[in-house]
């Protein structure tokens, strides 16, 4: 992490964030509550952002096919809810189902991406786009039994929003919650986040992890050194997909609902903009960059909602949110290292 | 003759580190001006300034004055320099890989159909591809190489690419000043001579030429004037008649150098590897039905004109390109080419394209040196219950890397320094250190001294001899530097059109080599 230089998007977002904090102070908002919530938001979205790292480092670019992993996680949770598994046991089983489903999905996804080497990002977008309608059939036709998941009228097909109230709603948020005055520290949530960070950190220090980074940096070099390129890429893509599945489980337990149908489609872009704000250039990315980017982006969203409600029209926040999410991606594409003749 | 280029008191620094200080230079129309200097002496920076490379502006511009054809200039980008009539042949190839040879040569100067010219204006006119290809073909024939102008650049070997790049500049009619950054580095002697003839012809047409080269013999032969750079300063200038290789070499590095030379010896003729009808489909460097036995413990030189296949052998063994035919390694037939299993069996390849294949530029010296040993031979792995995960044992690694650093004299600030910050010679040493870590029985080396300054060159060659003698490693050196091969090798195999044409003793005369290289029969070869 030596020679870490702040990049323009980080400076802009940070300045905006400071402005927002200043405004919220002037408007007498409860900063402590907002800070507490920002921790939850960090972990809630952070795991999805972390899931991008293995694919970035193996040279497969931004995982715009994030919906693949997310769908794996959704299926995992739906299974757990269907069998009425509650509490920690329920969440654990959801994670276990996710692990199995995402390994399979990641493997297929990886095989496809290995065939479109060099164009993974655009392929990922379309894999996401085409996978979601396919899954829409699944959600309506799959023989789930739990009435709480099904449409109340007719009793067939899953609801777009399944409440986790009776299952594992806030199971991590509330575990080991330490309150000091007004400040709440969700220890359970942070520990889970730390474990995933540690896992990634250790992964890149294993033999296969070092090969992963080498493949991402210089594929021809890795090939000449006898590395199995396809296999290395496949493993990185599977790991990305699995972490994305875990990410949606953690997201859902914080949010309180499983969101099905077209919802996963919109999840890839905020994750990608977060990692770009953190300073990733589409190549080797550090865990720190993912965390920083998520925190900056999510805190900004968090603060802008009440402030805009206070001083502007409420609809503006959603516009702002969309604008920043997509604008950052566009910006990153503009400044991304171009491989030109005289570069 | 008037000066077409005048540089007065030129200064340039990167982040406070001076790269050029007080350079004064002038080039006359029709003059071939040589610039020599070791790696890191500021040659490339000087060229970047002259050609308006944006990197100069991005890093704070330069101080001093440059006049081109009497006008003060300060180019903002390369396009501006090109408009003024400056051309440049780059050391790293500035060709578009996905376009064909003809398209690359005529890029920006395409012939267009006159009808559409009138209809849409020249800018939006249809390109007359046939005419383009014909022109490009003519230019290439002037250079004396035969390559299909319809082939994409990406499919060609480095040597041919260099010619294409030269052809692109030569094809221009508005050229006033041509800058050549090591144009002959990837060419062999004959091709180099061909190029030099072209340059002389251009200088007769009053085109100023700046010629950067590591090959001092060429500089002595071709240049009207030579400037020597050392550590960003202009240390000396010689005019034609006073240019001597020894003086240049001494000025370049500030001390004299010892040339590497291997002692002659008797070899046991026990083959370590035998190729039978071996073919490698490396575009532009194809090996076709090659038959060759390499003896245990020898250093075999492999040379050919560019495009005749000397580089492809090692890459073929590492499964970089499709292969065909039979190979016996230590009397066992290799069934399938696979880089991993071949490295385990004891083969290793040092590639000619160092930047592209030889190093992980963004990673540390340490990671680079241990990479293959660690990945393929499970070396440097920490003993623990998690052996299968392969965490690194940093104590073992440090010990080994420090030893390598001292043994090979790699100049770096620490073993954690990024390899891209090292000079070409030190990068090559890092590659050699990686090979030594794997400790191969058979080492393929391709162009080991390409792009390396003269003092480092001899160190690299000495290192190869030392590895061969102390570890009994069989080494196959593919190189176009005949002079170096003759000093280092036990036998030199000459390839013509992808086959072994003759095997010569290193004592054979240059004339014999010249004849054999061009495929002439009738040269007496010693039985080897």
Q: What is the pLDDT of residue A1?
A: 43
Picking from A198, A201, A217, A221 by the largest number of B CB atoms within 10 A of its own CB, the best residue to mutate is A221
Q: Could you say which architecture CATH assigns to the domain B3-85+174-253?
A: 3-Layer(aba) Sandwich (3.40)
CATH number for A102: 1.10.3470
Q: Can you tell me the distance from the alpha carbon of B286 to that of B9, in angstroms, rounded to the nearest whole number?
A: 49
Nearest chain A residue to B351 by CA: give it.
A224
- Please indicate if any CB of chain A lies within 8 Å of the CB of B379: no
Contacts of A224 in chain B (CB under 8 A): 315, 318, 320, 339, 349, 351, 357
Say if residue B9 is exposed, middle or buried (CB neighbours under 10 Å; 0-12, 13-18, 19+): exposed
Name which of A211, A218, A284 is nearest B375 (Cβ-Cβ).
A211
DSSP β-bridge partners for residue B7: B25, B66
What's the pLDDT tens digit per position in B391-419? 888 888 999 999 888 888 888 888 888 88
Is B288 in contact with B497 (CB distance < 8 Å)?
A: yes
Chain-chain contact of A214 with B371 (C-beta, under 8 angstroms): yes
- Please indicate if any CB of chain A lies within 8 Å of the CB of B342: yes
Q: What is the pLDDT of residue A333?
A: 66
CA-to-CA separations, A279 to A217, A283, B327, in angstroms, rounded: 17, 10, 49
Contacts of A208 in chain B (CB under 8 A): 390
- Label residue A150 by pLDDT band (50, 70, 90): confident
Q: Can you tell me the distance from the alpha carbon of B397 to that of B410, in angstroms, rounded to the nearest whole number?
A: 16
Chain A residues contacting B via beta carbons under 8 Å: 202, 205-208, 210-211, 213-214, 217-218, 220-221, 223-228, 284, 341-342
Chain-chain contact of B376 with A226 (C-beta, under 8 angstroms): yes
What's the pLDDT tens digit per position in A240-261? 999 999 999 999 999 989 998 8
Torsion of CA B347, B353, B355, B360, to 10 degrees: -20
Nearest chain A residue to B369 by CA: give it.
A225
Q: Please give chain B's pLDDT, 528 residues, in tens.
A: 578 888 888 888 876 667 788 888 888 888 889 988 876 678 878 888 888 888 788 777 888 888 888 888 888 888 888 888 888 887 666 788 888 888 888 887 788 888 887 888 777 888 888 888 888 888 888 777 778 888 888 888 777 787 788 888 878 877 888 888 877 766 777 777 777 888 888 888 888 889 888 778 888 888 888 998 887 888 888 888 888 887 887 787 766 666 777 777 777 788 899 999 999 998 888 899 999 999 998 999 998 877 788 888 889 988 889 999 999 998 888 888 888 999 999 999 999 888 888 888 888 888 999 999 888 888 888 887 777 788 888 888 999 999 888 888 888 888 888 888 887 788 888 999 999 898 899 999 998 888 777 778 888 898 899 889 998 899 999 988 888 888 899 999 998 888 888 898 888 887 788 778 777 666 655 444
Interface of B with A in 73-92 (CB under 8 A): 77-78
Q: Can you tell me the distance from the alpha carbon of A314 to that of B300, in angstroms, rounded to the nearest whole number?
A: 78
- Please indicate if any CB of chain A lies within 8 Å of the CB of B96: yes
Q: Flag whether A301 is in a domain.
A: yes
Q: What is the pLDDT of residue B308?
A: 84
Q: What is the pLDDT of residue B523?
A: 60
Nearest chain B residue to A211 by CA: give it.
B375
Q: Does pLDDT of A338 surpass 70? A: no
Contacts of A205 in chain B (CB under 8 A): 391-392
Chain-chain contact of A221 with B320 (C-beta, under 8 angstroms): no
- Residue B414, min C-alpha distance to chain A (Å): 14
Q: What is the pLDDT of residue A343?
A: 30
Contacts of A225 in chain B (CB under 8 A): 339, 343, 371-372, 375-376
- Residue A118, min C-alpha distance to chain B (Å): 14
Interface of B with A in 297-316 (CB under 8 A): 315
Name which of A205, A225, A284 is nearest B392 (Cβ-Cβ).
A205
Chain-chain contact of B357 with A220 (C-beta, under 8 angstroms): yes
Q: Flag whether A305 is in a domain.
A: yes
What is the SS3 string spanning chain A? Answer: CCCCCCCHHHHHHHHHHHHHHHHHHHCCCCHHHHHHHHHHHHHHHHHHHHCCHHHHHCCCCCCCCHHHHHHHHHHHHHHHHHCCCCHHHHHHHHHHHHHHHHHHHHHHHHHHHHHCCCCHHHHHHHHHHHHHHHHHHHHHHCCCCCCCCECCCCCCCECCEEECCCCCCCCCCCCCEEEECCEEEEHHHHHHHHHHHHHHHHHCCCHHHHHHHHHHHCHHHHHHCCCCHHHHHHHHHHHHHHHHHHHHHHHHHHHCEEECCCHHHHHHHHHHHHHHHCCCCCCCCCHHHHHHHHHHHHHHHHHHHHHHHHHCCCHHHHHHHHHHHHHHHHHHHHHCCCCCCCC
What is the SS3 string spanning B52-96? Answer: CCHHHHHCCCCEEEEEECCEECCCCCHHHHHHCCEEEECCCCCCC
| DSSP states of A33-51 | HHHHHHHHHHHHHHHHHHT
> What token pair was written down for B97?
């890989």
DSSP state of B152: B
Q: What is the pLDDT of residue B524?
A: 56
| Structural domain boundaries, residue A284 | 8-20+28-334
- Please indicate if any CB of chain A lies within 8 Å of the CB of B367: yes
Task: Please tell me whether the interface predicted TM-score (ipTM) of this complex is above 0.85.
Answer: no
Chain-chain contact of A213 with B372 (C-beta, under 8 angstroms): no
Backbone angles phi, psi at B433, to 5 degrees: -60, -40
CATH (residue range B271-517) = 3.40.50.300
Q: Does pLDDT of A3 surpass 70? A: no
Q: What is the pLDDT of residue A342?
A: 33
Domain count of the fold of chain A: 1
Between strands B32-37 and B208-212, the pairing is parallel
Give the angle subtended at the CA of B397 by the CAs of B395 and B399, to the nearest 5°: 70
Q: What is the pLDDT of residue B525?
A: 52
Is B211 in contact with B223 (CB distance < 8 Å)?
A: yes
Contacts of B15 in chain A (CB under 8 A): none
- Residue B241, min C-alpha distance to chain A (Å): 37
Q: What is the largest CA-CA distance in chain B?
A: 78
Compute the average pLDDT of residues A288-294. Answer: 89
Chain-chain contact of A220 with B349 (C-beta, under 8 angstroms): no
Chain-chain contact of B367 with A210 (C-beta, under 8 angstroms): yes
Of B371, B353, B359, which is closest to residue B312 (Cα–Cα)?
B353
Q: Flag whether A54 is in a domain.
A: yes
What percent of chain A shows pLDDT beyond 90?
A: 38
Q: Flag whether A1 is in a domain.
A: no
Q: What is the pLDDT of residue A213?
A: 93
What's the pLDDT tens digit per position in A19-65? 878 888 888 878 888 888 888 889 999 999 999 999 999 998 888 89
Picking from A201, A226, A282 by the largest number of B CB atoms within 10 A of its own CB, the best residue to mutate is A226
What's the pLDDT tens digit per position in A72-87? 999 999 999 999 888 8
Contacts of B341 in chain A (CB under 8 A): 226
Nearest chain B residue to A214 by CA: give it.
B360
Q: What is the pLDDT of residue A47?
A: 94
Contacts of B376 in chain A (CB under 8 A): 225-226
Q: Does pLDDT of A187 surpass 70? A: yes
Chain-chain contact of B356 with A218 (C-beta, under 8 angstroms): yes
Q: Can you tell me the distance from the alpha carbon of B144 to that of B403, in angstroms, rounded to the nearest whole number?
A: 48
Chain-chain contact of B318 with A207 (C-beta, under 8 angstroms): no
Q: Is this structure's pTM higher than 0.80?
A: no
Is B344 in contact with B369 (CB distance < 8 Å)?
A: no
Q: Does pLDDT of A182 surpass 90? A: no
Q: Flag whether A341 is in a domain.
A: no
Mean pLDDT score across all residues of chain A: 85
Residue ranges, CATH 3.40.50.300, chain B: 3-85+174-253, 271-517
């Amino acid at each position: 992490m030596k020679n870490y230089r702040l990049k323009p998007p980080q400076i802009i977002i940070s300045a905006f964030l400071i402005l927002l904090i200043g405004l919220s102070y002037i408007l007498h908002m409860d900063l402590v509550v907002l800070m507490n919530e920002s921790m939850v938001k960090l972990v809630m979205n952070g795991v999805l952002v972390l899931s991008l790292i293995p694919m970035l480092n193996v040279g497969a670019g931004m995982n715009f096919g994030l919906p693949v992993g997310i769908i794996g996680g959704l299926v995992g949770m739906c299974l757990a809810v269907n069998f009425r598994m509650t509490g920690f046991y329920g969440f654990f089983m959801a994670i276990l189902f996710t692990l199995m489903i995402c390994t399979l999905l990641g493997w297929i996804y990886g095989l496809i991406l290995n065939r479109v080497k060099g164009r993974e990002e655009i392929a990922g977008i379309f894999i996401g786009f085409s996978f979601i309608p396919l899954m829409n059939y699944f959600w309506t036709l799959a023989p789930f039994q739990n009435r709480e998941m099904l449409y109340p009228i007719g009793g067939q097909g899953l609801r777009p929003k399944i409440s986790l109230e009776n299952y594992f709603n806030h199971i991590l948020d509330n575990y080991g919650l330490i309150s000091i005055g007004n400040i709440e520290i969700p220890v359970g949530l942070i520990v889970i986040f730390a474990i995933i960070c540690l896992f990634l950190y250790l992964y890149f220090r294993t033999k296969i992890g070092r090969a992963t980074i080498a493949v991402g940096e210089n594929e021809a070099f890795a090939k000449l050194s006898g590395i199995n390129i396809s296999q290395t890429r496949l493993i990185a893509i599977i790991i990305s997909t699995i972490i994305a599945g875990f990410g949606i489980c953690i997201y859902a337990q914080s949010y309180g609902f499983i969101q099905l149908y077209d919802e996963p489609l919109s999840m890839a872009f905020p994750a990608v903009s977060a990692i770009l704000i953190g300073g990733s250039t589409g190549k080797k990315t550090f865990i720190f960059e993912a965390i920083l980017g998520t925190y900056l982006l999510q805190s900004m969203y968090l603060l802008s909602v009440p402030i805009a409600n206070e001083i502007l029209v409420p609809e503006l926040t959603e516009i702002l949110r969309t604008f920043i999410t997509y604008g950052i991606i566009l910006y990153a594409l503009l400044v991304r290292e171009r491989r030109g003749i005289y570069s | 003759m008037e000066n077409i280029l005048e540089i007065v008191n030129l200064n340039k620094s990167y982040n406070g580190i001076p790269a050029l200080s007080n350079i004064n230079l002038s080039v006359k129309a029709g003059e071939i001006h040589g610039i020599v200097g070791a790696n890191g002496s500021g040659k490339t920076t000087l060229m970047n300034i002259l050609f308006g490379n944006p990197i100069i502006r991005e890093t704070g511009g330069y101080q001093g004055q440059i006049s081109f054809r009497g006008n003060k200039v300060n180019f903002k980008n390369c396009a501006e320099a090109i408009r003024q009539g400056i051309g440049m042949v780059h050391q790293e190839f500035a060709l578009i890989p996905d376009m064909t040879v003809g398209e690359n040569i005529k890029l920006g100067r395409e012939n267009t159909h006159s009808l559409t010219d009138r209809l849409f204006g020249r800018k939006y006119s249809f390109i007359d591809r046939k005419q383009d290809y014909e022109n490009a073909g003519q230019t290439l024939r002037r250079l004396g190489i035969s390559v299909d102008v319809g082939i994409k650049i990406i499919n060609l070997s480095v040597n041919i690419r260099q010619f294409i790049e030269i052809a692109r500049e030569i094809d221009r009619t508005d050229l006033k000043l041509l800058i050549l950054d090591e144009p002959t580095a990837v060419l062999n002697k004959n091709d180099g001579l061909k190029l030099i003839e072209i340059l002389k012809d251009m200088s007769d047409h009053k085109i100023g030429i700046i010629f950067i080269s590591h090959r001092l013999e060429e500089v002595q032969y071709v240049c009207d004037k030579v400037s020597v750079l050392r550590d960003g300063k202009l240390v000396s200038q010689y005019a034609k008649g006073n240019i001597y290789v020894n003086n240049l070499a001494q000025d370049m590095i500030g001390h004299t150098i010892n040339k590497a030379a291997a002692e002659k010896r008797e070899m046991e003729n026990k083959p370590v590897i035998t190729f039978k009808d071996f073919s490698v489909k490396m575009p532009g460097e194809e090996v076709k039905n090659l038959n060759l036995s390499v003896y245990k413990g020898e250093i075999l030189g492999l040379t050919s004109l560019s495009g005749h296949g000397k580089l492809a052998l090692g890459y073929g063994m590492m499964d970089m390109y499709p292969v065909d035919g039979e190979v016996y390694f230590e009397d066992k037939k290799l069934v399938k080419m696979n880089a991993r299993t071949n490295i385990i069996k004891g083969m290793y390849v040092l590639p000619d394209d160092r930047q592209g294949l030889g190093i992980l530029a963004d990673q540390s010296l340490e990671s680079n040196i241990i990479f293959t040993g660690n990945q393929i031979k499970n070396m440097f792995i920490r003993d623990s219950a998690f052996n299968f995960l392969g965490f690194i044992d940093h104590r073992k690694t440090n010990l080994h890397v420090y030893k390598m650093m001292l043994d090979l004299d790699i100049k770096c600030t620490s073993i954690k320094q990024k390899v891209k910050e090292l000079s070409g010679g030190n990068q090559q040493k890092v590659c050699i250190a990686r090979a030594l870590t794997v400790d191969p029985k058979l080492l393929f080396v391709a162009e080991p001294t390409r792009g390396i300054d003269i003092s480092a060159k001899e160190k690299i060659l000495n290192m190869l001899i030392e590895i061969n003698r102390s570890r009994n490693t069989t080494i196959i050196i593919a190189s176009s530097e005949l002079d170096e091969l003759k000093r280092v090798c036990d036998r030199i195999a000459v390839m013509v059109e992808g086959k072994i044409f003759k095997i010569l003793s290193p004592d054979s005369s240059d004339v014999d080599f010249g004849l054999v290289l061009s495929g002439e029969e009738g040269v007496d070869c010693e039985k080897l």
